[in-house]
Structure 1
Amino acid sequence: MSIVNELTRRNFMKKTGQGLLAAGAFESLLKPASAQLHVPDPPGKKLGWAIVGLGSLSINQILPAFAKCEKSKVVAFVSGHPDKANKLALRYGVNKKNIYNYQNYDSIKDNPDVDVIYIVLPNGMHAEYTVRGLQAGKHVLCEKPMANTPAECQQMVDAGRKADRKLMIAYRCRYEPFNREAIRISQSGDLGPTQMILADAGFKAGDPSQWRLNKQLAGGGSMMDIGIYALNATRYLTGQEPTEVNAMIYSTPGDPRFKEVEEHVNFQLRFPSGILANCSSSYGYFHQSHFRVMG
């Protein structure tokens, strides 16, 4: 008997039934999964951002993060290095007509694609480019610290009010989940009333020619750049503003990095509730970024 003849009608029906049963079982397994599948909504209109300054922070952190943004997209660059800007434009899909330099920056007012300007420049340039951006009719997010002097900060605030545009400083820490929980614990009294806070922020600065070590561009040394993390940690953990401050600075003699700015700062704060804080800031010690609350 041939192999074909062995496939009788009975065997055919039996094998077909088994196949249909298996298919049915597989389909029943899929139904709950498909029923639970959540299809995300379209993002809607995305705000267009112009990035001013294409240094390490922009290239390594800010621009890659836009890939995950639901409500924002990069549409323009402002840079003094056209080769760098053109290369990044190819990577992030920025139209070449939306690449500006520092001389024609003001013409960004005529670009309807740009809703918000992000200032990612050395501290000493924050005020000028924030004010010019606001005068161009754009909202501005400026990197920390806001500016080198209180007078420059006020100029930025006044420009925002006059233009009726938003101005925000890119200080993220108080919005991060772990810090928000630390704030809640510190202010809730769950661990008893807070008595003292220790906070340290710093890293070892390398190249003596970097802008962070230039007084005009940086406005100061480690305190202006990294020490504000320690200072602001004490403010948001307590929910208070200090009433007393004292500090000491020290720079290694003969170190070419610290001809213009300070290396170490140690400072103490007293808050209205009696909480004391001891903080440090440094461009000389190994990377530190932490705080401790003692109740």
Structure 2
Amino acid sequence: MKKDIKVAVLLYGFLRTADLTVGSLIRNVVDVNNADIFYFGPDSSDSPTQIHKGILDSSGFVKINPKGEAHEIPCGIEDKLVSIYGDKLRNYKLHYKKFDDFNEQTSFVDKNEYLFNLNPARFVSMFYNMQGAYELMNEYEEKQNFRYDVIIITRPDLSFYAPVSAKNIRHGYVYIPAGEGFCPHTGNRNIGLSQVLPYRNRSEGKMVPSGVGFNDQLLVLTGKTASCMENLLDSVLMYMREKVPLTPETLLYYHLVVNNHLKVQYIMEWPYEIVRSDDVETITVTDLMIMDLIDKYHPVVKARISRHPIKYLFKYGRIRWRAFVNRYLR
């Protein structure tokens, strides 16, 4: 008979909206795997809103990246941790490093190398928290004299909408979701991830290809495979000196896939999204713009029309024109 696998969930970084998302984590990640939770992060939090996705220009390029402007605020992290995760929380550790500490670590980076106006200290702190969560779990393993079979690495501020199963996870692979979030207009799942950026090191014979999607928000690996997280931070700082493009996805891909030779497995069955501080608890069809095409006479749609009559004159005019063309001209 096959033994039950031991699963650890490593939570890293700011708690943020964890009090809202915890139910989905427990239901779809922890309970389905009978998993233990470990948390490593700062003794404060921040409160990013929807705008922290970035402000784009009319062509879709990132014009302003506000991620570095979500200031840290003290908010009783230890009490909150114990309250929301309860007896699922095997161990946790809070650190007292501030953003200035990570700024100092990355002071060697020329600002002309920044991409998307994002200060690399922001994601260096993320890698520090990732590695810290892994080390915390390792300490627990040594004390308890056993090893976890599967490691799930993720953030506290995510909502999961289907089971993230730890079954059939193979050594030498990193499993990640096939997309993140949902279209705000239609509610359809977003398929596709942030792309890693091309890089070639001619002396080392290493490269990062273009056109490959990767993810730093949800990673699933075997316990043996996850050993490559031990030296994550020092490795990332070295990659930055080697001019690997400064995005968290590219640096993590370079570490896991290029240098540790892991294969990537994309999982369609893991829908999830980041939950911001100004997100509401539930989203239903009347909150979406597609409602305009479902029920034109619904009070919500009629209210939209009254607020933006010119916009809807053209919108429904185009719909009537397409209907006319389809009926009489084709």
Task: Report the TM-score range of the alignment, normalised by the length of the smaller protein.
Answer: under 0.3
Q: Please report the TM-score for the alignment, with normalisation by the length of structure 2.
A: 0.24
Q: Please report the TM-score for the alignment, with normalisation by the length of structure 1.
A: 0.26
Which structure has greater strand proportion? 1
Which structure has greater helix proportion? 1
Q: Which has the higher contact order (CA 8 A, sep 6+)?
A: 2
